[in-house]
A and B are shown apart, each in its own frame.
Chain A
Amino acid sequence: MATNTAMKKQTGLTGNSAIAIAMKQINPDVCPAYPITPSTAIIEDFSSYVADGDVDTELITVESEHSAMSACIGAAAAGARVMTATSSQGLALMWEMLYIASGMRLPIVITNVNRALSAPINIHCDHSDSMGARDAGWVQLYSETVQEAYDNLIMAVRIAENEKVLLPVMVCLDGFITSHAIENITLLDKAEVQSFIGEYKPERSLLDIDHPSTFGAMTLQDAYMTFKHQQSEAMTRAKDVVSSVSAEFAKKFGRNYGLIDAYRLEDAEIAIVILNSAAGTTKVVVDELRKQGKKAGMLRLRLFRPLPHKEIADALKNCKAVAVLDRADSMNDFGGPLFNEVRSALYDGETRPKVISRIYGLGGRDYKIKDATDVFDELSAAVKTGKTDTLTKYITL
């Protein structure tokens, strides 16, 4: 558990500063970067660390996010430990290369500070950026707090580089809400971080000129699917690796993270499922409802890729009505991406709860106590009447 040493390292930091510090402590070999709001400060801070010699990372100030991810791929194939950060349009511009990074099985780590996608242009938080990349073959970790974002980034290195995984990892945190708000955080020492992540030893490298390898060959009908199958199996294995890395982290540093965060769900009849910072507001409402004797709970997914579907089904198995809150819309007339996956995960349960989709907080629209309360009221009504209002609906409008 938290030791005295850890206690004295407690400080107040924004999410961006904490991520930059984690990168400083990781001291990656190469960091190709292109600034974009709201993740810019990560790259600015890191550039200062480079300029001041706090790290000896090679920073490549590329001309676009597409080139950032392309350079990440080149550097990772050359055997370097590689990190970058982006948001929104930046992640969207990387989209082509995200698939190539994962398909080439390169353990690149990226921080995505969640921000809405244009149009209309908006710089504030929602999850449409990382949700747009959900099938790109990246492990996705979501972070409720500054502390969790920092811890996730350190763990991400281990997860990505694990020989059973060898997939890129994306750590998500909410733009402005987490990236710019100052929260209490306990930092590790650089030595602790270095000891936890260890040295990166790639299996093969472009720089091994005595043993030339071809990276990114053309594969046809006889081979492509086999590679994709291997990639898919690696993603399946990633779940246990996330668990074991998190368990080791908890043992060493006292902060315990599961694949999911099940809050007061043991006997819950109604529950909200949510990602990232909005979990905090939801927990406050859960506590309030519990005081009133209502059996409310909350499920937050820390891991979204791979989807911890069994854990989700298990956590929600006693619920009678569930609202899945998405900070992104699939524009499909059938609810948000998280809703569709959570609802599907519940399909095989013995008792299926009512599950509704509520889209909230797009483009930084606030999600308040009243919004969560209203959703729980809807769920209570659904339990009573056995009927739900509408399957999908925008809230916080």
Chain B
Amino acid sequence: MATLKELSKKDELLSGGHRLCAGCGIPPIVRLILRSTDSGIVASSATGCLEVGTTVYPYSAWRIPWIHSAFENSAATITGVETAYRALKKRGRIPDRDIKFIAFGGDGGTYDIGLQSLSGALERGHNFLYVCYDNGAYMNTGIQRSSATPFSSNTTTSPAGTVIPGKQEWRKDLTRIVAAHNVPYAAQASPHNWSDLSKKAEKALKIDGPTFLNVMSPCPLGWYTKSEDSIKLAKLSVDTCYWMLYEIEEGVLRITYRPKEKRPLAEWLQPQGRFKHLFKPENSAILEKFQARVDLEWQRLNELDGKQIF
């Protein structure tokens, strides 16, 4: 695995000058992943922050071939590209070079509207890596809830109202849904832990077959947080065990990072404006319920650690 120094010397494939927000988690995630292979890369993106922020015509931040077609089909689109690669290589119409294929999507484009397209692409066994940058809502269109939105979060379609205090549902466990497709590799990562993320990306890109990375992506706009706190908050999401770093390789689950001391969930929630209502005295029970759920999920994951789960 490459050292940080080595990684820093690699070509910057997503250039600066893009229009993603200061403090957005997406660029460091994308830049690190694009550095995790020496092969050529072709990428697709779902409609969303990454697409809008990097390609306002006539500019493009992408120094690799890149395609966006629509919101729900980053996976289907890249499978078309990847299949064309195999078809044209077979027919000798393109040079025989190793190319990796990566599909990017936000949680809206992946957990929700793009789930069918992703599922089909995984099941068909295309050789590609799907990366979900999970910032926990439809941030590009103004912070509407998704099925990745944390329980009790205040979004514009699950507002913390006087009767209903934010989102009432638990988030979807997409990583394990993906792993249940019997793909060779699925993992969760976070940009604060560059070494873990890079290692996982490198591993995923070496594997022949569909692989998946679900990456926590802080969003100052939608989380109501300070831009400079993003990486700190990514770390807190992991140290509170809200966002667990693990991988499922050939069906075997392995926790890749354990906090030395598991932090109380409130430490991650409190700095975020989207959870402000939880710190009102009348909502203390919601906070307790949320903490209990996180504890349960961490406990369950530990029970599965090292086991063949698929």
Binding site for B on A (CB under 8 A): 29-30, 32, 56-58, 60-64, 66-67, 70-80, 82, 96-97, 100, 104, 205-209, 212-220, 223
How close is B66's CB to chain A, nearest CB, in angstroms? Answer: 5
- Asked if residues B76 and A79 are in contact (CB atoms below 8 Å), the reply is no
Contact indicator A207/B42 (Cβ below 8 Å):
yes
Contact with A along B57-72 (1 / 0, CB 8 A): 1101011111111101
B57 contacts A220, C-beta separation under 8 Å: yes
Find out whether the CB atom of A74 lies under 8 angstroms from the CB atom of B77: yes
Name the residue among A79, A82, A207 with the largest chain B CB count within 10 angstroms.
A207
Q: Give 8 new A-B contacts, CB below 8 A, not counting A209-B99, A217-B60, A218-B51.
A: A29-B87, A30-B84, A74-B81, A75-B87, A79-B84, A207-B84, A212-B65, A216-B68
Binds A, one of B115-123, B165-173, B239-247, B249-257: B115-123
Give Cα A76–Cα B79 distance, bound, in whole angstroms: 12
**CB<8 Å pairs between A and B, sample of 5:** A32-B80, A63-B120, A67-B120, A73-B77, A219-B57
What does the 1/0 interface line of B87-101 toward A look like (CB < 8 Å)? Answer: 110110110010100
Task: Determine if B83 and A60 form an interchain contact, defined as CB atoms under 8 angstroms apart.
Answer: yes
Question: Considering only CB atoms and an 8 Å cut-off, how many residues of chain B contact the other chain?
Answer: 48
A281 CB to nearest B CB, Å: 40
Residue contact A218 to B76, C-beta cutoff 8 Å? no
Among the listed B42, B52, B70, B77, which residue makes an inter-chain contact with A209, where contact means beta carbons less than 8 Å apart? B42
The answer, among A66, A71, A208, A214, for a CB contact under 8 Å with B66, is: A214
Known contacts A208-B65, A217-B68: A30-B83 contact under CB 8 Å: yes
Contacts of A212 in B (CB 8 A): 62-66
- Report yes or no: A56 in contact with B90, Cβ–Cβ below 8 A: yes
Q: Give the complex CA separation of A212 and B116 in angstroms.
A: 29
The reply to whether B91 and A209 form a contact with Cβ atoms under 8 Å apart is: no
**Is residue B160 contacting chain A, with contact meaning CB distance below 8 A?**
no
Q: Are B78 and A80 in contact (CB under 8 A)?
A: no
The contact of B65 among A75, A96, A209, A218, by CB within 8 Å, is A209
A381 to B58, CA, bound (A): 60
| A14, B69: Cα distance in complex, Å | 35
Query: Which residues from chain A contact B66 at a C-beta distance below 8 Å?
Result: 206, 212-215
Q: How far is the CA of A368 from the CA of B68 in the complex (A)?
A: 48
With A71-B76, A74-B79 already in contact, the answer to whether A207 and B88 are too (CB < 8 A) is: yes
B56 touches which of A56, A60, A97, A218 (Cβ 8 Å): A218
B91 touches A29 (CB 8 A): yes
B80 to A209, Cβ gap below 8 A? no
Q: Tell whether, in the assembled complex, residue B120 and residue A206 are in contact, meaning their CB atoms are under 8 Å apart.
A: no
Q: In the bound complex, how far is the Cα of B55 from the Cα of A96, in angstroms?
A: 21
With an 8 A cutoff between CB atoms, is B31 at the interface? no
Q: What separation, in Å, do the CA atoms of A29 and B119 have in the docked complex? A: 24
Query: Which A residues lie within 8 Å of B63 (CB)?
Result: 212
Q: A residues within 8 A CB of B64? A: 209, 212
**CB-nearest residue of chain A relative to B60?**
A214
Q: Which residues of B contact A72 (CB under 8 A)?
A: 80
**B94 and chain A: residue at smallest CB distance:** A207
